[in-house]
């Protein structure tokens, strides 16, 4: 995260505003993927939730990856919620559809 000092029109008082560097968002997603691949699901969830909180727009890929992490720890209700959320923002997300269909039967 980058903190930028924004000056008001008077120039003598600063306002701190949080901005998200787009590269940081990508890094958080990559870290989440890394943890998923290495079966470190709690860390994956933490990183991916930070990515979600940092994003200005809904990101179906983040929701899909969160669904995978929750599915991996057998929290099928949360997995379902995140797969559905991914599909809410990208109705053609084939991988999310496949995973959702698999867990709905459980």
Tell me the average pLDDT across 38-59. Answer: 95
Query: Which residue ranges make up each domain of the chain?
Result: 21-104
55-79 pLDDT, tens digit each: 989 999 999 999 999 999 999 999 9
The residues pairing with 18 across neighbouring beta strands, listed in sequence order, are: 3
90-106 pLDDT, tens digit each: 999 999 999 999 998 75
Q: For residue 89, is pLDDT > 80? A: yes
**Predicted model pTM:** 0.78
Q: Which pLDDT value is given to residue 7?
A: 36
Cα-Cα-Cα-Cα dihedral sign, residues 16, 17, 23, 24:
positive
CATH topology of domain 21-104: 1.25.40
Total residue length of the chain: 106
Q: For residue 10, is pLDDT > 70? A: no
Q: Which pLDDT value is given to residue 21?
A: 58
């Amino acid at each position: 995260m980058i903190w930028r000092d924004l000056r008001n029109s008077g120039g003598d008082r600063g306002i701190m505003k949080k901005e998200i560097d787009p590269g940081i968002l990508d890094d958080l997603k990559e870290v989440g993927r890394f943890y998923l691949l290495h079966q470190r699901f709690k860390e994956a969830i933490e990183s991916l939730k930070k990515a979600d909180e940092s994003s200005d727009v809904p990101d179906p890929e983040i929701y899909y990856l969160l669904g995978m992490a929750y599915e991996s720890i057998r929290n099928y209700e949360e997995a379902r919620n995140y797969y559905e959320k991914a599909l809410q923002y990208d109705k053609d997300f084939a991988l999310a559809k496949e995973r959702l269909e698999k867990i709905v039967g459980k």
